Structure 1
Amino acid sequence: MKRWEITENNINLVWEITDENEIKLLHFSVLDFEEENLESDTGVQSFYPVEILVSGQDRVGERHGSKYIQTSPGYRMKYVDFKDYRNEKGRKLEIITNDDITGIECVSHMQFYDGISVVRSWTEVVNKGQEAQGLEYVSSFVLNGIDKEGMTDFDDKMELWIPHNGWQKELCWQKYSLRELGLSVTQPKIMHRSSKAIEISNTGNWSAKEYIPMGYVHNREMNSSLFWQIEHNGSWYWEMSDQDGHVYLKLSGPTEHHNHWWKNLKPGETFVTVPVSVGSAAGGFDEAMDELTKYRRAIRRVNDDNEKLAVIFNDYMNCLFGDPTTEKEKPLIDKAAEAGCEYYCMDCGWYSEGYWWDGVGEWLPCEKRFPGGIREVMDYVRSKGMIPGVWLELEVMGIKCPKADRVPDDWYFMRHGKKVYDRSRYQLDFRNPAVIEHATEVIDRLVNEYGVGYIKMDYNIEPGIGTEINADSFGDGLLGHNRAYLEWLDGIFKKYPDLIIENCSSGGLRMDYAMLSRYSIQSTSDQEDYVRYATISANAPSAVTPEQAAIWSYPLTEGDNEEVIYNMVNALLLRIHQSGHLVNLNPERMGYVQEALDYYKQIRQDIKHALPYWPLGISQYTDPWVSLGLKADGRDYIAVWRRDSQEDIISLPVKHLKGKDVKVKCGYPQKCEVGFHWNKEAGELSVKLPARVSARLFELSYEK
């Protein structure tokens, strides 16, 4: 038996090679490794570093249900090599195993990032045998024993947080005990195993339509956490269950059983899983999100947008709602410039005379809407000192688009010999070179002919399980398309490095870091109720870095000063997506918009480095009070929202400032008309907001 004990970026890993030449991952945590925590009736037998399931292989041993345990040849994989070296990102581990019967070789990759307690993990599968092997499941990361630290049962100490997501219901985190999810302790401690699994997955192209592809588990007894995200823009899957006396976590891209994915791996071919990231932190949710925020910044495409944090105006929400014309746009452009916006984006409808939904696809401007041409409007935006942008939905083609019937079927997703419809659109297949040429021509025209510098890239359909063309399975076709789209996007940014493209999918239905490692900005929601939007604003940094999280601010035509202030506070700690019919605001209310944008420009250089925290915890939509904090260099910013609470005073714990001398001021609006007090000994900021629906932004400065 041989062991490697590795500590890197505060994460402790322990690997063991058994007498049977099997390699096991025994430990992955900021906590120290303790041998006695491994007590089980099967020892470390189930601590496999990779699970792989191949068609036609027997799965022997103790197994119940459809869980991805005791996979074959996963349970047979033998140790070959362990590589440990450094690259430009940090430390890199590669664990190589193989199976003589199938000829399958796996390389388990773990990439560290210097100074960050997160590892990026993926698996490379090579068929070194003489026959094709059908892949049904391959893990990107596996860890058994996530509950092993501490004395109490996992029912009592383990708390799983799941980020539910949906249209206008984004970022709705819920906390569960494992018992509440059906995984109760019912067997002797050294035995725990069952057919029940907690299964969270997505099937299709909207990667976050029901869940953000991430999760968090807290060991309350030890006050330590494990957290993860799956970095894929299509189908994905993770499961948690019990096996051989312990609780495990398994992360992957698509699977056959859950996502209709199957890959026929021929001799000499290689398959690479989607990457995932996994981290560990001492402390709770805030500490975990510190590490994940730093990691997300480390893997992101270097770009000016996330350095400058420009203010964007978009003419859709509570404004033109998809009905742009030259006549309507010019007064709005004037007001957006007057307010201090730096980009101006024309949203949907610019390419169609009437109903525009099912005619998208050619992306040519409607002459009736723009008698002098769309370039006239774009030039007018530039004349006001702003950079122009337009809305686009490039991955689809409407069934009424003139081009739709002029192209062959292999441009589209196909199933059972038929084109896939969803909401009167076809899904384009980006594996097809002709589709790539079409998409690139559209971008070229927007940039070079229309003078566009910003694109809101929307996506409003769900084409389902995938496509059968040139694929081993529907899911295989979808995975190929997802990867081809990302490759195309990389090429666009290489060609136009200053072009800003916003990731939008009916709001926040593709919040994943396959996309967000490329796109600089993410639409968070289509939420039309500014009061409820506070929950999305507060929770956004759990899924997206603050400087990438685009938040609508849309003052109402009929409203009061507190309504404008609330709208602006929604966006001030993230990325401002200004909207609302500014032309209709009276001078006083317009003044609050201008003040907010001026203040934002003073603090945005802090936002791009700041780390988020939640003084009142992660927000629920029914909470009467909501708060988000950002900690920067010697300065914190705290947004607080009162949502019809009967109480007018709230105390906000700021635990990292407890015992410090802190100077507090109301950053926005400067005419505060609220009360506030810093309690040094308790580490609490008390705030009084007299209006039942109101919001303020506070600035806390202190010596580091």
Structure 2
Amino acid sequence: MTGTADGTADGFTPSCPTFSWGHPALRAEFAAAADGTPRLVRLGPGGTAVDPEVALPLVELTAVGHGSGWSGPRFTGTALGSRLAYRGHRDAGSSDWVRLTVELHDPVTALTAFVELTSPVGLPVLRSRVRLRNDGTDPLVVQSVSSLLLGGLPSPDVLDVHRARNDWLAECRWYAEPLRDTVADIGVDAHQHDSRAALTLTGRGSWPTDGHLPMGALTERGGGRAWVWQVESPAGWRWDLGERAHGTYLAVNGPTDAEHQWRARLAPDEEFTTVWAAVATGSTGTAEAGAAEAGAAEAGAAEAGVSRPGGGSALDAAFGVMTAYRRAVRRPHPDHGALPVVFNDYMNTLMGDPTTEKLLPLIDAAARAGAEYFCVDSGWSDDTVDGGWWDTVGAWRPAARRFPDGGIEAVLDRIRERGMVPGLWLEPEVVGVHSPVASALPPDAFFQRDGVRITEQGRHQLDLRHPAARAHLDRTVDRIVGDWGVGYLKLDYNVVVAPGTCAPGDLSPGSGLLGHAHAYLAWLSDVLDRHPGLVVESCASGGMRMDGATLAVAQLQSLSDQQDPLRFPAIAAAAPTAVPPEQGAVWAYPQPGYDDDLIGFTLGGALLGRIHLSGHLNRMSERQLGLVRAAVDTYTAIRGDLARAVPFWPLGLPGWTDPWLALGLRVPDGPSYVSVWRRGGEADVSLPVGHLAGREVRPEILHPSAESGGAAVWDRDGHALRVSLPRTPTALLIRLHAGTD
């Protein structure tokens, strides 16, 4: 697990030989190009190295006075990137992770770049970021810097690119197209110049997943390989794909000057570090890997719970690797293994109008249904008579008129008496224009531009780099959690600010926004350090903050605010592309007016995620409440498997209007689960399950427990699960018990 080059006394090598690094599941090889810059020429458990002239430098960056080597939208060929000379590398690691730092230096500006590469042992995934240090005597204003660069991928002729639109109420909508549709074949040989075209995707503003997920994927037609990447930025991000010497490159960035008004001014001895980015690889076979490496890669993948190289699609395998990686980098917390059932009073229920009178019967019914946490959502601090909580929030004190007898403490006590953990909704970063907090805190505690405080939809935005803003939130959380005994916080964020803030000392709005976003996550980490038993849900109008940096800190992630039970399954089925199943909060809001099929349908969609139960359970008949309790019992019986399972999609990634949807979870050394929804179309469907090909499989319908008329039969010859659902809308949860090969 160490590099092949000999180290000097300080751990760095004195020259730039070809060297390798990694572990059996991920082998990286580096070599120098003609200009002397080191290049990543091979990445994966197998394969051959590419020509260093085809590969990319380890770092690409632009700075004022040092732009691109040629014009165009691509983030390659920068003047500084071609000058960063190799100084040495240091190889370190442990039994769980391997780490490599490559030091580069620009003789013109005296800028030093440290490329920090890491990988969890047993997983074919590379994590990368870049640290810059100004070792010169003059300031340097950086306008963009890469987090991860990967060249030498197959030609755009054979690649499909996958992206995921992520809009409010319509999250995780993946779509694909041939890369060649965007990056046209210009006849490179006739021009002796690569195309300037690039497929570029960006995310802007304080909602990092508004518009698109900060992810992407490539699949190789006929080659059986896939690459999935994510940008772990809580603010702006960018990635682009283009053609280089008949191959494809991937460049991943955090915020940039051109797209996000981000710049970093590095005075002498000052540093800047980019956001992390990660790329995971998947394959349908091991033919291209050496026998020893292939065996080790398969063993490591099996240990981590990812798909075996020989079964399923390459894209499924890469998403499985990414799922295991996300678990490896996140903050440890008991919730990731316990997976308690959460009841939240908002969706299709109280909708921001909680009172003691309305909550007490809901609390009793939620406990009878099997909920283990009960979260009082928005409105609990609203003491206005017209429901005008939106522009008055910020003090986070309970509304006396809503809780007249015993205050909110009586409601929290009732939750505990019924055996549940109490939770509260909080939108910590905003202060309403009519809140007393808006005038109590100093002006610099808020987002600002040109000395004017920013107002967005009747709200101001706190800047958590300011000590007064942070102290205000610390007092708030310590009162709610420490004094009131609340064990669950739903942290919402319902405004988006773009491009950011320019506080005193900020060079640009984008740099201010990134600074605040990092400060928010640091604040949240400190909260969890002080209150280790606290469970935190990240929410931003549903799934507008579903980025890797936030997922690494929060325990749960809201997926959507979608209220239509027929539309939510498309979100739930695709969510494991972005969020591990045990972190994805899926609304299940059965209502007393639903028939049995629709009750089963809305509950079934949450059983392979995190149940976020809601609905007027207190108005249900005993029979209806029994259906809810049966679904919750099914979930509690299988949730121990979900925390270590990886996803697969028997019908491919779901389409927004598909009549049939299917999501599978595969447990290492255990069963597989398949949720299947029918929203229309024919009454029968065949679901390929490649990793169980050739095996005897016994399907077991776990949900619904009532008679649905559904059936599931295993077709061994077709290695597929044949499902029949005579009515619509209906859903099944099926467990697949597999025999030996």
> TM-score, length-normalised on structure 1?
0.95
Are 1:29 and 1:226, in contact at CA under 8 Å, matched by a contact in 2?
Answer: no
2:92 and 2:440 mapped to 1: Cα distance? 53
The answer to whether residue 674 in structure 2 is matched with residue 638 in structure 1 is yes
1:20 and 1:198 mapped to 2: Cα distance? 27
The answer to whether residue 500 in structure 2 is matched with residue 466 in structure 1 is yes
Residue 369 of structure 1: aligned partner = 402
1:327 and 1:133, CA in 2 relative to 1: closer, same or farther beyond 3 A?
same
Are 2:26 and 2:123, in contact at CA under 8 Å, matched by a contact in 1?
Answer: no
1:619 and 1:467 mapped to 2: Cα distance? 38
Q: Following TM superposition, by how much is the alpha carbon of 1:557 offset from its aligned partner in structure 2, in angstroms?
A: 3.2
Aligned pair partner of 1:548 in 566, 583, 607: 583
SS of the residue 1:491 aligns to: helix
Are 1:30 and 1:281, in contact at CA under 8 Å, matched by a contact in 2?
Answer: no
Q: Deviations over 1:566-587 (max 9, x none)?
A: 0111100110000011112222
1:666 and 1:192 mapped to 2: Cα distance? 58
Q: Following TM superposition, by how much is the alpha carbon of 1:384 offset from its aligned partner in structure 2, in angstroms?
A: 0.3
The answer to whether residue 113 in structure 2 is matched with residue 106 in structure 1 is yes
Residue 242 of structure 1: aligned partner = 243
Q: Following TM superposition, by how much is the alpha carbon of 1:242 offset from its aligned partner in structure 2, in angstroms?
A: 2.1
Which structure 2 residues correspond to residues 386-401 of structure 1 after superposition, within 5 A? 386-401=420-435
SS of the residue 1:145 aligns to: strand
Identity of aligned residues (%): 37
1:689 is matched by which residue type in structure 2? Answer: L
Q: Following TM superposition, by how much is the alpha carbon of 1:88 offset from its aligned partner in structure 2, in angstroms?
A: 5.5
Residue 12 of structure 2: aligned partner = none
Which structure 2 residues correspond to residues 498-577 of structure 1 after superposition, within 5 A? 498-577=533-612
Residue 150 of structure 1: aligned partner = none
Are 2:55 and 2:152, in contact at CA under 8 Å, matched by a contact in 1?
Answer: no
1:58 and 1:238 mapped to 2: Cα distance? 18
Q: Deviations over 1:191-245 (max 9, x none)?
A: 5622322111111110101111111111123211111111111111111112343
Aligned pair partner of 1:82 in 58, 82, 89: 89
Q: Following TM superposition, by how much is the alpha carbon of 1:591 offset from its aligned partner in structure 2, in angstroms?
A: 1.2
1:34 and 1:473 mapped to 2: Cα distance? 41
1:262 and 1:163 mapped to 2: Cα distance? 28
1:671 and 1:502 mapped to 2: Cα distance? 32
Which structure 2 residues correspond to residues 381-530 of structure 1 after superposition, within 5 A? 381-469=415-503, 470-530=505-565
Q: Following TM superposition, by how much is the alpha carbon of 1:692 offset from its aligned partner in structure 2, in angstroms?
A: 2.0
Are 1:227 and 1:280, in contact at CA under 8 Å, matched by a contact in 2?
Answer: yes
SS of the residue 1:537 aligns to: helix
2:496 is matched by which residue type in structure 1? Answer: E
SS of the residue 1:467 aligns to: coil
Residue 664 of structure 1: aligned partner = 699
Q: Deviations over 1:636-676 (max 9, x none)?
A: 1111100022x101111111111111111111123342222
The answer to whether residue 54 in structure 2 is matched with residue 21 in structure 1 is no
1:272 and 1:341 mapped to 2: Cα distance? 43
2:260 is matched by which residue type in structure 1? Answer: N
The answer to whether residue 359 in structure 2 is matched with residue 359 in structure 1 is no
Q: Following TM superposition, by how much is the alpha carbon of 1:556 offset from its aligned partner in structure 2, in angstroms?
A: 2.3
Q: Following TM superposition, by how much is the alpha carbon of 1:10 offset from its aligned partner in structure 2, in angstroms?
A: 2.5
> TM-score, length-normalised on structure 2?
0.91
SS of the residue 1:571 aligns to: coil
Residue 178 of structure 1: aligned partner = 179
2:660 and 2:90 mapped to 1: Cα distance? 51
The answer to whether residue 156 in structure 2 is matched with residue 154 in structure 1 is yes
Which structure 2 residues correspond to residues 112-123 of structure 1 after superposition, within 5 A? 112-123=119-130
1:473 and 1:397 mapped to 2: Cα distance? 23
1:693 and 1:314, CA in 2 relative to 1: closer, same or farther beyond 3 A?
same
Residue 689 of structure 2: aligned partner = 654
Residue 6 of structure 2: aligned partner = none
Q: Following TM superposition, by how much is the alpha carbon of 1:66 offset from its aligned partner in structure 2, in angstroms?
A: 3.2
1:624 and 1:394 mapped to 2: Cα distance? 40
1:599 and 1:486 mapped to 2: Cα distance? 35
Residue 329 of structure 1: aligned partner = 359
Aligned pair partner of 1:32 in 23, 47, 53: 47
SS of the residue 1:75 aligns to: coil
Are 1:31 and 1:224, in contact at CA under 8 Å, matched by a contact in 2?
Answer: no
2:67 and 2:434 mapped to 1: Cα distance? 50
1:184 and 1:584 mapped to 2: Cα distance? 60
Are 1:325 and 1:370, in contact at CA under 8 Å, matched by a contact in 2?
Answer: yes
Are 1:553 and 1:578, in contact at CA under 8 Å, matched by a contact in 2?
Answer: yes
1:202 is matched by which residue type in structure 2? Answer: G
Aligned pair partner of 1:131 in 135, 138, 146: 138
1:484 and 1:435, CA in 2 relative to 1: closer, same or farther beyond 3 A?
same
1:428 and 1:351 mapped to 2: Cα distance? 18
Q: Deviations over 1:481-501 (max 9, x none)?
A: 111111111111100010011
Moved more, 93-102 or 220-229: 220-229
SS of the residue 1:70 aligns to: coil
Aligned pair partner of 1:11 in 12, 26, 50: 26
Are 2:214 and 2:231, in contact at CA under 8 Å, matched by a contact in 1?
Answer: yes
Q: Following TM superposition, by how much is the alpha carbon of 1:7 offset from its aligned partner in structure 2, in angstroms?
A: 5.2
Q: Following TM superposition, by how much is the alpha carbon of 1:154 offset from its aligned partner in structure 2, in angstroms?
A: 2.0
1:88 and 1:352 mapped to 2: Cα distance? 52
- Over the residues paired in the alignment, what is the CA RMSD in angstroms? 1.5
Q: Deviations over 1:518-556 (max 9, x none)?
A: 101000000011111111111111100000000000012
SS of the residue 1:57 aligns to: coil
Runs of 4 or more consecutive aligned structure 1 residues displaced over 4 Å after TM superposition: 189-192
Q: Deviations over 1:383-414 (max 9, x none)?
A: 00000001100011011112212322101110
Are 1:185 and 1:192, in contact at CA under 8 Å, matched by a contact in 2?
Answer: no
Q: Deviations over 1:116-174 (max 9, x none)?
A: 11121000101000100010111011112222xxxxx523x101000110100100001
The answer to whether residue 589 in structure 2 is matched with residue 582 in structure 1 is no
Are 2:701 and 2:734, in contact at CA under 8 Å, matched by a contact in 1?
Answer: yes
The answer to whether residue 629 in structure 2 is matched with residue 594 in structure 1 is yes
1:263 is matched by which residue type in structure 2? Answer: A
1:114 is matched by which residue type in structure 2? Answer: V
Are 1:11 and 1:280, in contact at CA under 8 Å, matched by a contact in 2?
Answer: no
Q: Following TM superposition, by how much is the alpha carbon of 1:278 offset from its aligned partner in structure 2, in angstroms?
A: 1.3
The answer to whether residue 53 in structure 2 is matched with residue 44 in structure 1 is yes
2:451 and 2:53 mapped to 1: Cα distance? 48
1:19 and 1:130 mapped to 2: Cα distance? 29
1:45 and 1:161, CA in 2 relative to 1: closer, same or farther beyond 3 A?
closer
SS of the residue 1:239 aligns to: strand
Moved more, 416-425 or 438-447: 416-425
1:515 and 1:425 mapped to 2: Cα distance? 23
Are 2:651 and 2:661, in contact at CA under 8 Å, matched by a contact in 1?
Answer: yes
Are 2:392 and 2:435, in contact at CA under 8 Å, matched by a contact in 1?
Answer: yes
Which structure 2 residues correspond to residues 255-294 of structure 1 after superposition, within 5 A? 255-283=256-284, 284-294=314-324
SS of the residue 1:598 aligns to: helix
Q: Following TM superposition, by how much is the alpha carbon of 1:449 offset from its aligned partner in structure 2, in angstroms?
A: 2.4
Moved more, 498-507 or 413-422: 413-422
Q: Deviations over 1:670-694 (max 9, x none)?
A: 3342222111121111111011211
Task: Show structure 1 runs of 5+ residues with no match.
Answer: 148-152
1:689 and 1:58 mapped to 2: Cα distance? 60
Q: Deviations over 1:232-268 (max 9, x none)?
A: 1111111111234332111111100111001110000
2:49 and 2:60 mapped to 1: Cα distance? 25
Are 1:455 and 1:500, in contact at CA under 8 Å, matched by a contact in 2?
Answer: yes
1:570 and 1:227 mapped to 2: Cα distance? 25
Q: Following TM superposition, by how much is the alpha carbon of 1:316 offset from its aligned partner in structure 2, in angstroms?
A: 0.5
Are 1:165 and 1:208, in contact at CA under 8 Å, matched by a contact in 2?
Answer: yes
Residue 310 of structure 2: aligned partner = none
